[in-house]
């Protein structure tokens, strides 16, 4: 059994290992100017002012055994990212994830700066709203929606001219939740810490000029919007592993 402090320590150690790896290679000759850009979505570097960048892909999230017991459900969500540079270091982020019966729209602001020619940092905050509705004869007459906030910190490292690694840590805050079955509804509008997540994403070329994001996200949280219809009642951080794949357009 791992206690929470041990897991937090481990997360920190992983982050530190990534930074150390970056720092260890940081003494090499610069191979690229810091303000040069590869096609990227996760990498903590702002688009040039006025420039748009976008990606389209899929996210696979696996259900924790506490919720679906012997069954493992991994329904893909379509994942669309849109970003716009506001200044040299500041940019807007937008993200839509959808499984059609449930969707999540996020808007955020991020500030990014190079720490060296290889190492980059960003801090930001994303606000997301999610909505789900299920109407299935004799099974569901349910809807739910909510608001969550994700303060985040990303470290990016250019491993070589084509390959970029991003490590992102996020806090997950619940701000609002409303659930309705038939004519009954419950609301929870207390702000509370829901959990945290750590992502590791590689961005690289993929056949010719196409670039992709490929990574995973480990979320430890009480609630995950994709599984609102499972009506999780646990006040425990459950593990939601996610695999991320997206084409940078």
Partner 1 sequence: MRVIPYVLISFLFLVFLGCRKQYEAPVPYEFANAPGAGRFTAPVRQSIEGVYGVTDGAAQFGEQVALKWSYVLDGADTTHFLSIFTGVDVCFFNLEVEPQADILALTGYWRKLVNTETGRTRLAVRVKRNGQLQRYSGGLTAGDTLVLDGVYGNRTAEPTQKLTFTYRRPLNQKPFSILAHRSGGRTSDLLSVSENSIEIIRLASRLGATGIEIDVRYTKDGVPILYHDNSLNLRLIQKNGLDGAIEKYTYQQLQTFVRLINGERIPTLEEALETILTNTTLNFVWLDTKYIGPMDKVQALQQKFRQRAILARRDLRIVIGLPTQGAVDAYNALPDKENTPILCELDTAITRSLNARIWAPRWTLGPQTEEVLAMKSENRTVFVWTLDEPKFIEQFITEGRFDGILSNYSPVVAYYHYIGQ
Query: Which residues here bind partner 1, judged by CB under 8 A?
Result: 1-2, 4, 7, 10, 14, 21, 64-66, 69-70, 134, 137-142, 159-160, 163, 165, 179, 181-184, 186, 188, 198, 200, 202, 215-216, 218, 220, 229, 231, 233-237, 239, 241
Which residue's CB is nearer to partner 1, number 72 or number 88?
A: 72
Which residue's CB is nearer to partner 1, number 50 or number 184?
A: 184
DSSP helix/strand/coil, 11: helix
Helices assigned H by DSSP within the chain: 4-26, 65-68
**Distance in Å, CB of 178 to partner 1, minimum:** 11
Q: Which string of DSSP letters, residue by residue, matches 75-114?
A: -EEEEEEEEEE-SSSEEEEEEEEE-SSEEEEEEEEEEEEE
3-state helix, strand, coil in the chain (%, to 5): 15, 55, 30
Which residue's CB is nearer to partner 1, number 50 or number 183?
A: 183
Tokens at residue 195, please?
Answer: 């959990």
**Distance in Å, CB of 84 to partner 1, minimum:** 28
| Residue 44 and residue 218 in contact, taking contact as beta carbons nearer than 8 Å | no
**Distance in Å, CB of 149 to partner 1, minimum:** 22
**Distance in Å, CB of 137 to partner 1, minimum:** 8
Which residue's CB is nearer to partner 1, number 10 or number 51?
A: 10
**Distance in Å, CB of 111 to partner 1, minimum:** 26
DSSP helix/strand/coil, 62: coil
Which residue's CB is nearer to partner 1, number 46 or number 144?
A: 144
CA distance linking residue 56 with residue 146, whole number of Å: 24
**DSSP single-letter state for residue 228:** G
**Distance in Å, CB of 86 to partner 1, minimum:** 30
Which residue's CB is nearer to partner 1, number 209 or number 233?
A: 233
**DSSP single-letter state for residue 182:** T
């Amino acid at each position: 059994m791992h206690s929470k402090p041990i897991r937090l320590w481990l997360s920190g150690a992983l982050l530190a290992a990534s930074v150390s790896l970056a720092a260890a290679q940081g003494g090499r000759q610069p191979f690229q100017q810091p303000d040069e850009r590869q096609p990227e979505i996760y990498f903590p570097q702002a688009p040039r002012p006025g420039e748009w960048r976008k990606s389209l892909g899929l996210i696979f999230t696996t259900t924790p055994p506490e919720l679906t017991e012997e069954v493992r459900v991994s329904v893909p969500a379509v994942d669309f990212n849109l970003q716009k540079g506001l200044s040299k270091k500041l940019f807007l982020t937008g993200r839509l994830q959808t499984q059609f019966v449930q969707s999540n729209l996020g808007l955020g602001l991020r500030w990014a700066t190079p720490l060296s020619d290889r190492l980059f940092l960003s801090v930001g905050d994303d606000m997301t709203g999610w909505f789900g509705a299920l109407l299935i004869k004799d099974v569901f007459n349910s809807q739910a929606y909510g608001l969550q906030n994700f303060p985040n910190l990303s470290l990016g490292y250019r491993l070589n001219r084509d390959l970029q690694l991003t490590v992102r840590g996020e806090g997950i805050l619940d701000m609002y939740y409303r659930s309705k079955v038939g004519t009954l509804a419950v609301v929870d509008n207390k702000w509370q810490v829901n959990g945290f997540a750590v992502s590791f994403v590689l961005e690289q070329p993929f056949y010719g000029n196409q670039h992709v994001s490929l990574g995973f996200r480990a979320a430890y949280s009480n609630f995950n919007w994709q599984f609102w219809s499972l009506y999780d009642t646990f006040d425990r951080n459950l593990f939601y592993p996610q695999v991320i794949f997206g084409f940078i357009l």
